[in-house]
Amino acid sequence: MMRVVSIVGARPQFVKAAMVGKVFAAIQALDEILVHTGQHYDADMSEVFFRQLDIKPPHYNLGVKATLHGAMTGRMLEQVEKVLLKERPELVVVYGDTNSTLAGALAATKLHIPIAHVEAGVRSSNRKMPEEINRIVTDHVSDILLAPTRAAVRNLQAEGVPAHKVHMVGDVMLDAVRTFRPRARRPVIAGCRQFEINSPLALLTIHRAENTGTPQRLKHIIDAVCALDKQLKIIFPVHPRTRKMIDSTKWLKDGIFANKNITLSQPLGYLELLYVLERCALVFTDSGGIQKEAYFFNKPCVTLREDTEWEELVAMGVNVLAGADKEKIRAAYKALANHRFQCDGSLYGKGRAAENIARVIMDEFGINN
Ligand code: UD1
């Protein structure tokens, strides 16, 4: 029996690990042990994903809660190492680009345990982003690099990663959308009539450190989006980091609520997010994952950052980078509001990435199912 430890901790990883875990569960010769670092701990950031995506409860929850990156990553590293020493897996699987990814990869490599990285090779070329550092370090200590796109494969080649370690498997987030779209569920948001009325709807999400670092920048973005079109109704599920900033700054809170066309909500569950993506006209976000999900739902995306790890969407003209600049946000909205397109299998695969990942791992370890 091959023993695999999968390490997750933050919201986007639950989605990815759910898909891979389902395929792993069907392989008799493989035993998956799930470790949750605790990075995301609110019920609507964590537990709801386990429930909605049918993820088995984690075997370990390390309960690491910290704000500073060094403290968070250090505590995770220490706790993950203990688990790995106890479980002695043949392989560690890490996902994406969070501090949990980095801690898992560092703990495993120091113990000489092979690492498979799901979503390898993705780059924004912005080294000020903690996620970019996490991606680069993780890729360079990994043994099986599971790239979602051809662009990611090229990035790894350019950094000198040996070709035999790199496998283009497609994007597991597309697998998740394909699987769960039929179960999309209308969110219940107090006082919100947005889904009943027939005006255009936009999804807004903001959580990146660069946008939530000062209340001025956050207000600037929200005001710019709200001023685009009085008809446009905006749903804004608020990440805990952003919520803290709003709740602690009275003028910011009052300023946001002065806009009549925006509705704030708790973070949405995955099925509720899919409903909004299905129903909306376009998306404003600084999230990496939601940029792709917008594309999977054929929705244009205004990205509230200066750079993106999904350059191929910008090249296709379905995603425009606008930063926090009011004029750029307005120009992007004008360019994209009526843009129609169809997501096809050319960029992110055909929704079978999790199966591809399992096949690569089984081949590497010589397992027959
Ligand atoms: C993390 C990831 C990011 C990913 C995002 C998805 C890193 C460096 N960043 O960013 O790549 O896109 O998750 O959401 O790993 N908090 C709560 N409740 C929670 C979770 C967090 O209150 O359930 C608070 C934390 O205490 C912290 C803040 O929110 O003060 C930010 O959380 P953190 O996990 O540091 O980073 P994210 O912004 O969520």
97 lines ligand 1 (CB under 6 A): yes
66 lines ligand 1 (CB under 6 A): no
Q: Residues 6 or more apart from 156 whose CB is under 8 A from it?
A: 120, 121, 139, 145, 147, 166
Beta bridge partners of 301: 283, 319
CA of 150 to the centre of ligand 1 (A): 29
CA of 75 to the centre of ligand 1 (A): 15
- 3-state DSSP helix/strand/coil percent for the chain, to nearest 5? 45, 15, 40
Query: What pLDDT band is residue 180 in, cutting at 50, 70 and 90?
Result: very high
10 lines ligand 1 (CB under 6 A): yes
* Amino acid at site 76: M
Q: Which atom of ligand 1 is nearest to the CA of 45?
A: 23
Residue 358 has pLDDT above 90, yes or no: yes
Residue 198 has pLDDT above 90, yes or no: no
- Average pLDDT rounded to a whole number, residues 70-95: 98
Contact 182, 176 (CB under 8 A): no
Alpha-carbon distance 126 to 287, whole Å? Answer: 15
45 lines ligand 1 (CB under 6 A): yes
Alpha-carbon distance 104 to 322, whole Å? Answer: 33
Alpha-carbon distance 340 to 270, whole Å? Answer: 24
Residue 192 has pLDDT above 90, yes or no: no
Query: Best of 98, 100, 128 to mutate for ligand 1, by most ligand atoms within 8 A of CB?
Result: 98
What are the pLDDT digits (tens) for 48-62?
A: 999 999 999 999 999
What are the pLDDT digits (tens) for 227-256?
A: 999 999 999 999 999 999 999 999 999 999
Beta bridge partners of 117: 94, 145
What are the pLDDT digits (tens) for 303-325?
A: 999 999 999 999 999 999 999 99
Q: Where are the alpha helices (DSSP H) in 205-318?
A: 209-212, 215-226, 240-247, 250-257, 270-279, 288-296, 311-315
pLDDT > 70: percent of the chain: 98
- Average pLDDT rounded to a whole number, residues 178-204: 86
Match 């790995």 to its residue by tokens.
Answer: 84
What are the pLDDT digits (tens) for 254-295?
A: 999 999 999 999 999 999 999 999 999 999 999 999 999 999
CA of 96 to the centre of ligand 1 (A): 14
Q: What phi, psi does 293 have (nearest 5°)?
A: -65, -35
Residues with a known catalytic role: 207
